[in-house]
Amino acid sequence: MEEITVIFHGTNGWYTSKTGYTTCITIDTPDCFIILDAGEGFTKIPDVYPSIQKPALLFFSHFHLDHISGLHTLARCQFEGGLSIYGPPGAHMLSKFIGYPYTVPLSELTYPVTIMELVEGRCNLQIPVQTAFLVHNQPVFGYRFELSKTITFCTDTGPCEGILTLGADADLLITECAYLPGQENPGWPHLNPEVAVRLATEARAKRLALVHFAADLYASLDQRSAIKNIGPQFSDVIIGMDDMVIKM
């Protein structure tokens, strides 16, 4: 079976700190290179993958700064097969962010880049992708990638039907975990570990990985690791740490 390599380059939410860089995850498949969000973790990609020959596809959940700030290092990347950027409505504004006076513009990169706004539902791209709106204070997309293994990515969201739809029977469900155990704030929708586990169970996901830990709340890695101690249902949960590698 074709091997898939998932790397958590950045697992913090809001800002980079001693616990990690802000959110960026890559999924390396035999046919394409998938990038999930481009927080500061994105800056690590050229060191791990000096040259990427296959097509690269970058999917944005939304456009808060902690998910796009790594774009200022696009000029360091070698996407020899080109880079296609996808996101929810509003994605085209990235063409203004990726340019002067902020950073090197798209037209001066050494590889071709395209930007496309996606609609909710199944998308006809190079790979089978399904999107769904999540619940946040800005439009946010979750993604389901149907590869040789099914991988779902849902961040910056409160509990919602979109997570269940995208995460149904997924081999790996990656969700955020911004809040501490027992913490909730409906006015600023995010997940705590208990809710993330409940949603993964309802979706019948085979594995759950937690990322996007709020940097101000999870001020130490020990706080993340302590999630394993909440109860037996957390024993198999993957606690995302920067530079963690999962082979599928």
**Distance of alpha carbon 224 from alpha carbon 29, whole angstroms:** 28
Q: What is the mean pLDDT of residues 201-211?
A: 98
Please give the full DSSP string across 199-222, using - where no structure is assigned.
HHHHHT-S-EEEE-EETTT--SHH
pLDDT at 77: 98
pTM of structure? 0.97
pLDDT tens readout for residues 148-164: 999 999 999 999 999 99
pLDDT at 70: 98
Of 115, 176, 113, nearest in space to 140 by CA:
176
* Sequence-separated (6 or more) residues with CB below 8 Å from residue 112: 82, 83
Assign 43 a pLDDT band (cuts: 50, 70, 90): very high
pLDDT tens readout for residues 103-118: 999 999 999 999 999 9
Q: What is the mean pLDDT of the chain?
A: 97
Query: Per DSSP, what are the bridge partners of residue 57?
Result: 34, 84
**Distance of alpha carbon 89 from alpha carbon 9, whole angstroms:** 25
Its sign, for the CA torsion 218, 220, 21, 5, is negative
pLDDT at 160: 97
- Residue ranges of domains in the chain, CATH in brackets: 5-239 (3.60.15.10)
